[in-house]
Amino acid sequence: MTDVAAFLFSPALQDKSQRRYTGIRKFDDIYFVATLMMPPRTRLETLVEGFDRDTAAGRELIGQLMATDPHSFQEGIVPVLRSCSSSAGIQYMAGLLASGDHLFEALCDPALTLDEAIMLARTALKVEPKADVNVAKCLADQAHEGVSAAAATRLMEVLDTVSDGNRIMSSLLRLMRLTDKQVRSKAVLMIGRATRSVQWVRARFEDPDPRTRASAVEALWGCEGIDVRLLLRTAARDPHHRVSANALFGLYRMGETRAIPDLLEMASNSAPMFRTAAAWAMGEAGDRRFTEVLRGLMCDTAPGVRKRAFTSLGKVRSAVAKSRTGVQWRVSMRNLPPVAGARQLAVEVGPFDRGPLPKLVATQFIVSENGKVIHDYQVEERPTPEIVSLSYVFPRSSSAGSAWAKGALKSLQWKRQNDLWRTIYYQDTEEAATSKKAEFPAYSNNDKAVTAGLEKPPQKAECGSFWNVLRDSVRNGQYRGARRLIVYCPNDPGDPDDAEEIVSSTLAAQAAVHIVAHRPNPALKDLARQSRGSFHAVNEGDDLGSTMEETYQVMLARFCITYQSLIGIAESLQVFASNASGWGEKTLIS
């Protein structure tokens, strides 16, 4: 700052009560004259920096500078945005620019970076709500003359960031008719995002310019619906690499797992531009399963492919590291009976507390067998019943304070408010079980009642034998919604005489039976399979509490993953799930 500016901004001079000691009578006039004596690029900067000291004078002086020396005013915008601390002064300056066509001229200044131009436009919108509309109209009016292609493209980027496309639709439609391909394609992108019209985007696929077709495809990113999927699948077969890659990335974002092997196939295309486009899409996906492919492309014969692969690999690593900083989830899963030779998994992903369940799409799951990633798989999200009536069936001996009871108690943190629970006990000691029909407790959605049932088993005389209790439990009780049973069987109960009747009663009640057992009893396995439940064999040293928690979560599993195994027998099976907010993984050892 010059000596004159330092003097004018001194505390004594700024304090109006002290001005009589300075000998200056016409302070504002001298202040303005003094600023004209400063170097041109510091005049506006000085006025804006001092705006908070005397707002009324600042308004007048900044307005005078704009009226008397617009060139100096224009030259001062960049240093103001980069160095001034007065947000009120900057806002007033932006408001003056937005009052006419000056904002358009300022945004065209190549000295402004894109981020600075966006900041200026946003500030102007706070003062003049139609600032974006005016800039778009100026661009459409002057696009044929006097505006460079670089400035026009940058203005489109600014408008795309700060404005709702519907507000400037009339100008965008005019810009779409220009001969400049870059401006046209940007206009198509903004119109497509604003209208979200599949029919309008489909019409753009007839455009001979691949840049325009690619922008039309990009406009569908984030949209949902079968018609969107079908259109993106069509675009994925476009002969131009950019259009095809945009479509595959859009399908990936929607959770279309078929996009994964298609991107891998594109990465091996004989044309370098297709390999480059595949590397770009993999980087945007930020998916760790593409890491090895990108490493291979970094050794490609084409320099462009190597450069893009290097950049994309960095994006993938950053995305993976970022996901690990999010919330860690519990992943629970069980093997389901195979269908037509394909393996199936029931998978649930949720927090370790009562937090909300994460929203996941199919491409956010990674399935691996023996450390080898499965690229071709499907994920079906199944709706869970609105209400579940759950019966825990536990052995009477040593139930109070046992590991399985504690696991059930811990599962209460995920119990939904309207779900009904109860605990039924059977006699598993050598003492004879009661021959009379057992009285089963009622279902309850009250946590205290549920806790009491888990912590205080009934008397031995009130407990029947295992198979009798299991059969009667599906026939007994006033329930609502879907019926589920979680059964713990530490000893082999043998084969029941009425196995078919037990299965029939279970199927008639539409009750799914999930069994945790130490021995692979054939009758129990068959019951779990036919009732569409699950059978989980545990060892003596396993954590029964965690097993009970996972069994409860799998019982309400939202996801079913289907895939063709790459190997005959998998020693380990891993499922990894992640999104922008968290991650979780689970490994099953055979």
Q: How confident is the model over 228-260, as pLDDT tens digits?
A: 999 999 999 999 999 999 999 999 999 999 999
Q: Which helix (H) or strand (E) holds 559?
A: strand 559-563
CA distance 518 to 527: 16
CA distance 126 to 137: 19
Which tens digits make up the pLDDT trace of 42-80? 678 888 888 888 899 889 988 888 888 888 888 888 888
Strand order through the sheet with 330-339: 330-339, 342-350, 559-563, 377-381
Which tokens is 220 given? 């569908």
- Section 564-590 average pLDDT: 88
| pLDDT of the residue at 431 | 60
- Percentage of residues in the chain with pLDDT exceeding 70? 90
**Confidence grade of residue 29 (pLDDT, cut at 50, 70, 90):** low
Q: How far, rounded to the nearest angstrom, does the alpha carbon of residue 307 sit from its chain's CA centroid?
A: 28
Cα–Cα–Cα angle for 148, 153, 157, rounded to 5 degrees: 145
CA distance 283 to 174: 34
| pLDDT of the residue at 368 | 94
| pLDDT of the residue at 414 | 81
Which tens digits make up the pLDDT trace of 393-405? 999 876 556 888 8
Query: Global pTM?
Result: 0.80
**Confidence grade of residue 416 (pLDDT, cut at 50, 70, 90):** confident
| pLDDT of the residue at 14 | 46
- Section 117-133 average pLDDT: 92
| Own/partner pairs, 154-159, CB within 8 angstroms, 24+ separation | 154/107, 154/108, 154/114, 154/117, 155/104, 155/107, 155/108, 156/183, 156/186, 156/187, 156/190, 157/114, 157/118, 157/186, 158/107, 158/114, 158/117, 158/118, 158/121, 159/121, 159/132, 159/135, 159/190
SS (H, E, C) 353-396: CCCCCCCCCHHHEEEEECCEEECCEEEEECCCCCCEEEEEEEEC
Which tens digits make up the pLDDT trace of 245-300? 999 999 999 999 999 999 999 999 999 999 999 999 999 999 999 999 999 999 99
**Confidence grade of residue 148 (pLDDT, cut at 50, 70, 90):** confident
- Section 83-93 average pLDDT: 87
Reduced DSSP (H G I as helix, E B as strand, rest coil) percent helix, strand, coil of the chain, to 5: 50, 15, 35
Q: Which helix (H) or strand (E) holds 79?
A: helix 70-83
Which tokens is 479 given? 């329930």
Question: What count of residues does the chain have?
Answer: 590
Which tokens is 341 given? 């030779």
As a whole number, the mean pLDDT across the chain is: 87
Angle, helix 241-254 to helix 226-235, in steps of 10 degrees: 150
- Section 135-160 average pLDDT: 87
CB-neighbour burial class of residue 356 (10 A; exposed 0-12, middle 13-18, buried 19+): exposed
CB-neighbour burial class of residue 478 (10 A; exposed 0-12, middle 13-18, buried 19+): exposed
Rg (Cα) of the chain, in Å, rounded?
35
| pLDDT of the residue at 32 | 52
CA distance 158 to 107: 9
Which tens digits make up the pLDDT trace of 547-573? 888 888 888 899 999 999 888 777 899
Asked whether the CA dihedral 510, 514, 519, 525 is positive or negative, the reply is positive
- Section 528-546 average pLDDT: 85
- Section 220-232 average pLDDT: 94
Q: Is a pLDDT exceeding 70 seen at residue 320?
A: yes
Name the residue with higher pLDDT: 32 or 129. 129
- Percentage of residues in the chain with pLDDT exceeding 90? 49
Q: Which of 152-166, 209-223, 320-334 ranks highest by mean pLDDT? A: 209-223
Q: Is a pLDDT exceeding 90 seen at residue 415?
A: no
Q: Which residues pair with 379 in a beta bridge?
A: 561
Q: DSSP letters along 207-275, please?
A: -S-HHHHHHHHHTTTT--SHHHHHHHHHHTT-SSHHHHHHHHHHHHHHT-TTHHHHHHHHHT-SSHHHH
**Confidence grade of residue 23 (pLDDT, cut at 50, 70, 90):** very low
Q: Which residues pair with 47 in a beta bridge?
A: none
CA distance 308 to 274: 12
For residue 454, give Cα distances in angstroms to 279, 354, 511, 518.
55, 20, 21, 21
